[in-house]
Chain A
Amino acid sequence: MKVLGNRAKADWRAPLPAERAGASVRLSGLRRSFGPTKALNGLSLDIAPGELVALLGPSGCGKTTALRVLAGFETLDAGHVLVDGQDLAGTPAQKRDMGMVFQSYSLFPNMDAVDNVAFGLRMRGHAARARRDKAGELLDLVGLAVEAKKFPHQMSGGQQQRVALARALAIEPRVLLLDEPLSALDAKVRLQLRQQIRSLQQRLQTTTVFVTHDQEEALSIADRVCVMRDGRIEQVDAPADLYARPATPFVAEFVGTMNRIPGVTESGGVRVLGRLLAMRGEGTTNPGVPVDVLVRPEALSLSDAPGSDGRGIVTNKTFLGAVTRVQVLVEDGLGVQVDQPSEEVATLALGAPVGVFIAAPDVLTAERRAPAAFHEAPSN
């Protein structure tokens, strides 16, 4: 961060060598209950210096509580929060050196952008001139130098969140905490700011925890995504691994789109649409158990060639750009979604008979859920 001082005209897109690495964070066995609700139920997570970890999960999964515990705004029933090996138990929020950007606009309405950004420096006793210079640099960094004299009510939501980001970064935080900072913004601004946050974070190498319920946001911004459910971690992995090899049916269905196709376990795997596939994950290994097989739309393909795994008729087509999502009614009311290159299915008519192939080498299984149907991940 100190390197900023040498850059009179900083541009957030330009590469900037990291001068100081972020702090390491260890969350160990965190437990926190609100009445009968267990918001955190033994959560443990290690975050490497300079890493951006997204906490992803449905509302009520405990992701915001975890962030607030880290920030010092919530107390723990049990567990430890360590930053660079130092236990933060008993350290109040104002002494934790953590920059935080909130979901709701949190700029101080009585201060202009510069004073907002300089607030943390003022609290640290920096001289007026030094803090104004630094605030100016930070505003420049988020591309808002010309808005420096504006008050929050004179700025758009996106601008306010960028000032909030500059304000959080101004104190050179050991850890940057982002609590759904993009959820109040419209889609276009959200995308821009997302890229800006990622770019800045990579340049400054600030260890960052990003809380979101938007899987697309988490997958696109994070080094690792931590999927949470009921106060626990379901899986922590790099975005590509999380998508390609979800550890549990919950992760599989929460991240991306997933087909549920009924199958029956056998000694060598699971039989689905007449074909025997290898199984992975924690599913049952007893033969003869009816299960749902989880297959991504892109792991299925359509063809008229003989020997297909299943046959059905096209009931719907959704053009998604390079690929088209084709909905096929396979059997007894079972619908599956298949992603095909758009040019291959351009002439495919609704009602046309097609063959469905499964291209996955191994599959995840879940308990049979009736009626079997495709599952759309929640989109936000």
Chain B
Amino acid sequence: MVALVAEPLDELEVPAEEEGTGKHRRIRWWRGIVLFAVGAYFIIPFYAALRFSLEGSNGKFTLSAFTSIPSQPGFGAAFALSVRLAVITTVITMVLMVPTAVYVHLRVPRLRRLFDGITVLPIVIPPVVLIVGVLQVAPTVLKGTPDLLALVYVVLAMPFVYRSLDAGLRAIDLKTLVEASRSLGGRWSSTLLRVVLPNLRAALLSATILTVALVLGEFTMASLDQYQTFPVWIVNFEQDDAHVSTAVSLLALVGTWLLLLLITSFDRRQSRRWLRKESR
């Protein structure tokens, strides 16, 4: 039967394919141009920055801008502050958002759209308004400390974290997994820890990396609050030594890029697994 069906179909497909090849060629041609333009847009500034950071004051090639980074005044403190803020922000965001996203998916799936809308708000609300809002509700003990920034970053990270978790939760049959766990005697806490979270690994990783990337790169809020975080230090230090400042920016860029690469490779492995499962 297969052969009988396949033969006439093959014959039919020949002219269609020839016509399609010409079309494909045109598409490939356009693809090349678009790729080149996009590539140039990203690579030229990158190349310029790299070249500038590798140039000594006498115009000769040197690695000193990179090698001198750790010993620059203020670098260590600024970097440590940013890392600390990244850790605090990630922990608070996860503790708040994971149970919320799971609850919404499990118990009130009708509200998913509403939550989609609410979690986008930090992107459209101006930074000054956010800061004022956070200051209104922040505990007094945090006011005047740089840790206050973590609360602002939690709000800023919300759209990315919620979306990552939402996508992860949509990819699994949450209701069935939770009910299976509970019917086997699993309490809510063990269900969350042993069943839900391990199956959200990719989503949690992506949410974490996006949060860390956001905190390590955020300038406006920190600058408005006058705290010397890593990005603020880069901008301030530019006035002292533009070469070093550019080298630090480049390293930050590469670091973030490696983190994102890690997410995509992890996601891809996960989705390949799912695809294999679906095809069975």
Q: Which residue numbers of A lie inside 8 Å of B, CB to CB? A: 71-73, 92-100, 102, 104-110, 119-120, 123-124, 152-153, 156-157, 164, 167-168, 171, 177
Contacts and interface: CB of A to CB of B under 8 A. Distances in A.
A92 B186 CA distance: 11
Contact of A110 (B179, B182, B198): B198
A119 to B, nearest CB: 5
Contacts of B177: 106, 108
Contact of A109 (B172, B181, B183, B184): B172
B30 interface: no
B181 A153 contact: no
B186 A94 contact: yes
A171 B185 contact: yes
B165 to A, nearest CB: 17
B185 A102 contact: no
B173 interface: yes
Contacts of A106: 173, 176-177, 179-180
Interface in B146-203: 172-173, 176-177, 179-187, 190, 194-195, 198-199, 201
A104 B176 contact: yes
Nearest to A68: B179
A108 B199 contact: yes
6 closest A-B pairs by beta carbon, nearest first, are A120-B184, A123-B185, A110-B198, A153-B277, A100-B183, A106-B180
Contacts of A164: 180
Contacts of A104: 173, 176
B186 A119 contact: yes
Contact of A94 (B173, B185, B198, B199): B185
Given A123-B184, A124-B185, A171-B185, A93 B179 contact: yes
A162 to B, nearest CB: 14
Contacts of B179: 71, 73, 93, 100, 102, 106
A153 B280 CA distance: 9
A44 B227 CA distance: 69
Nearest to A155: B280
A151 B186 CA distance: 20
Contacts of A99: 183-184
B25 interface: no
A102 B183 CA distance: 11
B105 to A, nearest CB: 15
B113 interface: no
B17 to A, nearest CB: 33
B176 A119 contact: no
B110 interface: no
B276 interface: yes
Given A152-B277, A153-B276, A153-B277, A108 B180 contact: yes
A123 B183 CA distance: 11
A180 to B, nearest CB: 12
A148 B280 CA distance: 19
B280 A157 contact: yes
Contacts of B107: none
B184 A167 contact: yes
B178 to A, nearest CB: 10
Nearest to B190: A123
A94 B187 contact: yes
B274 A93 contact: no
Contact of A95 (B185, B190, B273, B280): B185
A241 B21 CA distance: 66
Given A102-B179, A164-B180, A168-B183, 16 more contacts: A73-B182, A93-B179, A94-B184, A99-B184, A102-B176, A106-B180, A108-B194, A110-B195, A119-B186, A123-B181, A124-B185, A153-B274, A153-B276, A167-B184, A171-B185, A177-B183
B180 A100 contact: yes
A98 B186 CA distance: 12
Contacts of A156: 280
- Most chain A beta carbons < 10 A, residue from B173, B180, B190: B180
A94 B183 contact: yes
A119 B181 contact: yes
A171 B184 contact: yes
A194 B184 CA distance: 22
